[in-house]
Amino acid sequence: MTDYRLAFKPAIGLYGQHDPSAVLFEDGTPVFGVEEERYAREKHATNTFPERAIRACLDHRDLTLPNVDRILLPYEPRLRGKIASHYVTDAIRAPGGARKLSALEETLVTQARSRFVPTRQIENRLESIGAPVPPIETIPHHRCHAASAFHPSGFDEGVVLTIDAKGEYDSTVVWHADGDGLTRAYTYEHPNSLGLFFAIVTEYLGYRMFNGEGKVMGLAPYGNDNPEIEGVLRDLIDTGADYDVTALTKRWGTDHGVEVLEDAFDRPRTETPGEFDQWEKDLAHTAQKLLEETVVAIAETAIEQTGTDNVAIAGGVALNCKLNKRVRESPLVDDVFVQPVAHDAGLALGAGWSQQPPSAVDRQTDVYLGPEYDTAAIRSILETNKLAYAEPDGLERYVAERLADGDLVGWFQGRMELGPRALGARSILADPRTAASRDRVNRFVKHREEWRPFAPSMLESAAEEYLIDGGPAPFMIDAYDIRPEKTDDLEAVLHPADDSTRPQTVREDQHQRYHRLISEFADITGVPVVLNTSFNDHAEPIVRTPTQAIKDFYGMGLDVLVLEDFVIEKRTSKADRDSELSFEESDGSTPIPEQ
C-alpha cells in the first residue's frame, strides 16, 4: 500500500511568519511541492496558512486529506520554552516594558498551551480541508533544515550547517551526519543569530528583513575594504567560530540593532534604497565579509573536529551564494551541497526526508515539483481570449534565433520550480553576450535597480570551459568566477564589480526542452549560455499559471512568450519577424480571466 505523507510549513502563530509551503511524499519520495505565495500572489505569503498549497498537493494524486497517512510539521512548539527567559528579560528592559510584558504574557500563555496540545491550531485549520485529520508529528525546525541539506546531498558523511534567524530556540546549528542520520554537535542559541545580524544591516540600508538580504549581497562587491566601518562593526560583534552578534540582535526584530548602528556610525538608516553612496556600498561589503569569515570558520572548525570534509548547508542564510562560494573555496572543504530551497519553504522537504535514513534518499538534481499545464488547457486559454499564437515545429530553434537577435523571451515549460530560483520552467530569457540585454531586462522587464546582476543558465558540459573550478551547479545557489578569456561572451550575466556569476548548469535529463534551447543558441552563437531570471515582475512571486504569464507578458517589455508548444508575439507581421512562422490571426483581447 502506498504511504502518503504531507509535510507543510505554516506561517501562523508559533510557526513563523514567512514562506509557507507544502510537499507531498509518496513512499518517501517528494512528488509534488509548491509555495503558498504562488497562489496568494504575495511574496513570502506572510502570516498565511498554506491551504491552497496543501490542496494542490492532494489534487496531484487525487487524494483527500484522510487518505494521507501522516502530517509532518517542521517545528516543535515545546522547544520554545528554552528561550522564554530571554523574552521576559528583554521585555522588562526594553522601552515600553509594560506594554511589551502584556504582549509577552499572551505569547507565554500560548506557548504553555502548546506544550499540552501543540498542534491544536493546525488541526482546526486542517478540518476545513478534510476530516478526520491524520496524525500530526512535529519535528524540530533546524533538524528539518539539516535533513533537507544532508539527505539529498549524496554524501556518505559530512558536516551540516543550518543557519537562519531563529528556529524554536536555535539560530545556527552544527551537525555531524552519516548514513544513519544526524547528530547535533553544537548550537548557537537565539539571539546569537547570523540571520538576524544580516537582516539588521539590510534594514539599516533601507530594505526589508527576510526580503532584501540578497540585494545587500549583490551590493557588496561594489564596496571596498573600509577600516573605519570594519572597526566599528568589530567593536560591536565577534566573528569566527565563537561568534557573538548579540549586541545587535538581543531583541527580536531589527529596530534595536538598527538603532545601535545609527548611534555607532552617527548616521541615520537609509531612507531611499537603490541609490547608494560609496559609504553604504562599503558597509554592505564589510557585512558580507564578516558573515563569510564567520561561517567559513564554523565550517573549518567542524571539519577539523569531525574528520569529514564534505559540507551541506541549509537555512535562510544559505541563500547567500557569495557565502557558499567562500565555503566551497576553503582548502579544508572537499565538496559542498546547498539545499536549493534553503529558506523556510524548504522545511517541508526536510520534514519528509527526516523520516528515513539519508542513505534511502536519492541525490537531488532538480526542483521541478510544482504544477504543469498541458497543451489543450493552454490552447483553450489562448482561443478563449482571442490571442494570436503559433505552433512552430522547431520551437527551440526559433526561440534561440529570437534570443540571438536580442529579443526578450518569457519561457513557461513543464512543472514549476519549488524555491526562489527560476530554473528554466518559469523563466525570462535573454542573450547573455551584451550589457544591453542586462539593462533592457532590468529597466523594461523586471523594473528594478539597474546595478543588480543577472544569472546564466549554461550547458553542464560547458561549465569547466566558462567557470573557474566549474562543475555541476544545477540550482543557482553558488557563485563562481568566470574565466577571464570568457567574460566578453557573458557580459549580461556577470556581476559588473567582480566578474562573478551565479550559474545554473543544465543536463538533458534535468530539463530536456530547456537543454535543447540552450544547445540551439550555442549552435547559432557559439555561446552555450542564456541569461535566465525569474518570470515575475518586481516584488511579485514567480508566475504559476499560463494566465499569469500572459498578463505579465503584456505588462512587461517582453517580445516573445512561449507557453509549452505555443508562441505569442507582440510583433505579428511576417516582415518584422523575418521568419517563416505563420500565426493564427485574431482580433485580440485584453481581459484575461484567471484560470
Which residues are marked as active site? Answer: 18
CA pair distance 32, 76, nearest whole angstrom: 24
CA pair distance 233, 221, nearest whole angstrom: 18
Cα separation values, 192 from 166, 382, 384, Å? 9, 53, 56
CA pair distance 113, 71, nearest whole angstrom: 20
Provide the β-strand partners of residue 170. Answer: 189
Provide the β-strand partners of residue 324. Answer: none
CA pair distance 492, 532, nearest whole angstrom: 10
CB 39 within 8 A of CB 544: yes
Q: Locate cell 569547466: which residue?
A: 464
User: CA angle, corner 303, sides to 460 and 315, nearest 5?
Assistant: 60
3-state secondary structure of 299: helix
Residue type, 122: I
CB 73 within 8 A of CB 351: yes
CB 1 within 8 A of CB 33: no
Distance of CA 433 to the CA centre of its chain: 26
Provide the β-strand partners of residue 458. Answer: 505, 529
Contacts of 503 (CB under 8 A, 6+ apart): 455, 456, 457, 458, 463, 466, 467, 470, 473, 476, 478, 480
Q: How many beta carbons lie within 10 A of that of residue 81, not counting itself? A: 15
CA pair distance 217, 322, nearest whole angstrom: 7
| Residue 531 CB-density burial (10 A; 0-12 exposed, 13-18 middle, 19+ buried) | buried
CB 410 within 8 A of CB 426: no
Q: Locate cell 499559471: which residue?
A: 545
First to last CA, the chain: 34
Q: What is the DSSP string of 550-582?
A: HHHHHHTT-SEEEETTEEEES---HHHHTS---
CA pair distance 255, 83, nearest whole angstrom: 20
Judging by DSSP bridges, how do beta strands 157-163 and 310-314 pair with one another?
A: parallel
Q: Locate cell 562560494: which residue?
A: 325
